C-alpha cells in the first residue's frame, strides 16, 4: 500500500508467475521517480488487470492499470491512490489492513510483516 503514490506498480516477475505474457503490455514513455531512491525508473509497459478483493459471497471487482517494472522486487505489487479511489478503500498502515465497502459488508484485506 502506498497512499502517497498515484501509481499502481506490478513487478515483471509477478506478471510472469501469473502466466501473463509480456507481449500483453502496452508501451508507456513516461518515467517515474521515488520508487528507486534517487533514481528515475522506466516501466517496461502498462497492463490493465481485473482485480478482485473479498470472498465468494462478498467481493468487489475493478479493472486497474499497472505500470510494470523490471527491477528486483520486495513485493508482488504496490497499490496506490488510484486503486483506493476506484475501490473506495481506506488503508490503515499501522495494522496493515485495507478496508472497502462490499455488497453485503465491509471487506477487509489483511497482511503481515
- Give residue-wise pLDDT tens across range 49-75: 999 999 999 999 999 999 898 877 777
Helix, strand, coil shares of the chain as percentages rounded to 5? Answer: 15, 40, 45
Q: What is the mean pLDDT of residues 83-88?
A: 89
Dihedral pair phi/psi, residue 58, rounded to 5°: -145, 95
Mean pLDDT in the chain?
A: 84
**The length of the chain, given as a count of residues:** 113
Model confidence band, residue 76 (pLDDT cutoffs 50, 70, 90) = confident
> How far separated are the first and last CA of the chain, in Å rounded?
13
pLDDT in tens, 9-34: 888 888 888 999 999 999 988 777 66
Range ranked top by mean pLDDT from 2-6, 34-38, 77-81: 77-81
Please classify residue 82 by burial: count the beta carbons closer than 10 Å to its beta carbon, then call 0-12 exposed, 13-18 middle and 19+ buried.
Answer: middle
pTM, to two decimals: 0.81
Query: 16-54 as b/e, with b when 16 or more CB fall inside 10 Å?
Result: eeeeeeeeebeeeeeebeebeeeeebebbbbbebebebb
Amino acid at each position: 500500500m502506498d497512499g502517497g503514490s498515484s501509481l499502481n506498480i506490478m513487478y515483471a516477475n509477478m506478471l510472469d508467475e501469473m502466466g501473463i505474457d509480456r507481449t500483453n503490455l502496452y508501451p508507456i514513455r513516461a518515467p517515474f521517480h521515488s520508487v528507486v531512491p534517487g533514481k528515475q525508473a522506466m516501466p517496461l509497459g502498462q497492463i490493465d488487470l481485473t482485480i478482485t478483493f473479498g470472498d465468494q459471497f462478498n467481493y468487489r471487482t475493478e479493472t486497474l492499470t499497472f505500470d510494470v517494472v523490471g527491477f528486483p522486487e520486495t513485493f508482488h505489487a504496490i497499490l496506490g491512490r488510484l486503486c483506493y479511489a476506484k475501490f473506495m478503500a481506506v488503508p490503515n498502515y499501522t495494522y496493515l489492513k485495507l478496508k472497502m465497502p462490499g455488497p453485503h459488508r465491509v471487506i477487509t484485506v489483511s497482511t503481515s510483516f
